[in-house]
Amino acid sequence: MLKAFQVAPLSNELDDDIQHKIDFKTKPPGSLGGLESIAFQVARIQRTLAPKLERAQMLVFAADHGAVDKGISAFPQEVTPQMVTNFLAGGAAVSVFCKQHNVALKVVDVGVKVDMPDHPLLSKRKVAYASQDFSEQAALTLDEVNQALAAGAEEVDACQEVDLLLFGEMGIGNTGVSSCMMSAMTGQTPEQTSGRGTGLDELGVSKKAQIIAGALKRAEQALNKPMGEWAPWEVATQVGGLEILAMSGAMLRAAELSKPFVVDGFICTVALLFASKLQSAVTDYAIFAHQSDEQAHQALLQHFKAEPILKLNLRLGEGSGAILSYPIIKSAVVFFNEMASFESAGVTNAT
């Protein structure tokens, strides 16, 4: 019932050669730590001993959420189009970091509540003018879910010359939607998955958890089964968000094309969680940028057995953590390709 993707697990054919190349650089084995793991992963994804990261693309997916009217965010819904405008004008955090690192930025409107004016950096793929309020009814139709997945996939198809994809999001209320999706997929309680988002106080977080709990109970009654038995399409239709699902589609398509992609923070990791319910091998292609300050993100990273590159207590979203990790990922590939080996440098190896 959902758009089909076919993601191949990574081959281990070159594993020994990749590890040998890493180990015989002019350094003690393992001394470059996480850089070695990143280099190994990129070489494995690209199936080569000469991986390249010459061109990267940041895709920020934007949408609104009906449940915002219930109070799941500290900010009003009109901030979504305002921030999209800020991205396009170059004033947002992700904008300035992309400019700093010479990474192209595109904003993809899959569900902003208003029509955005044309802009060279804006891709108009609106599926709906926001999702429905999931505390009262299903958030999305199945057709809308598939359109969102397809929109993400098609944006990746437009990046054929890109070696690395970075994903981000914008949508007031999407931390709450992500918490709801995480609870539905993992069984963790709303109290465990709900965090401060854009700046809720303790009372606000408690209220958000109550709204999510009510939405999950409503959906269980509508589907006539407990959330532990929901199929992925039921999670998506009942409590999903358009920009989150579009990121899932983008991740799945990137993996189909054997392109590594960078996972930002909590919301982006929930998108990966959903993608992994459709094709488990998608996680092989994911590089985890950072551990955010959103309380449930650490549990998600542990679920994936992931070692994020950074821990800076970020909770901004936008893809900000992903772009901050980018120069480190580039450095991993540079050392793999350009650092001398003991043999080439005439340096005596350890015995």
Token output for 350: 């350890």
Domain span holding position 226: 56-329
pLDDT at 196: 83
The single-letter code of the amino acid at 2 is L
Nearest to 263 by CA among 33, 254, 231: 254
Task: Indicate whether 38 belongs to any domain.
Answer: no
For residue 296, give Cα distances in angstroms to 42, 150, 188, 195. 27, 28, 10, 7
* pLDDT tens profile 308-333: 999 999 999 999 999 999 999 999 99
For the stretch 345-349, contacts whose Cβ atoms lie closer than 8 Å and that sit 24 or more positions apart, written own/partner, are 345/26, 347/26, 349/24
Q: Is the pLDDT of residue 202 over 90?
A: no
The runs of H, that is alpha helices, within 257-319 are 266-278, 297-303
Task: Indicate whether 336 belongs to any domain.
Answer: no
Catalytic residues: 318
CB atoms within 10 A of CB 305: 7
Q: Which residues pair with 60 in a beta bridge?
A: 107, 168
Percent of the chain with pLDDT over 70: 99
pLDDT at 350: 66
pLDDT at 351: 59
* pLDDT tens profile 264-283: 999 999 999 999 999 999 99
pTM for the structure as a whole:
0.96
Task: Indicate whether 239 belongs to any domain.
Answer: yes
Confidence class of residue 349 from pLDDT cuts 50, 70 and 90? confident
351 versus 166: which is more confidently predicted?
166
Q: Could you give the number of structural domains in the chain?
A: 1
pLDDT at 199: 75
Write down the mean pLDDT value for the chain: 95
* pLDDT tens profile 331-345: 999 999 999 987 877
Q: Is the pLDDT of residue 223 over 90?
A: yes
Task: Indicate whether 222 belongs to any domain.
Answer: yes
Task: Indicate whether 283 belongs to any domain.
Answer: yes
Torsion of CA 62, 322, 329, 324, to 10 degrees: 130
Q: How far apart are CA 174 and CA 241, in angstroms?
A: 7
Q: How far apart are CA 248 and CA 102, in angstroms?
A: 25
Token output for 178: 């992500």
Output the domain CATH number for residue 304: 3.40.50.10210
Q: Is the pLDDT of residue 249 over 70?
A: yes
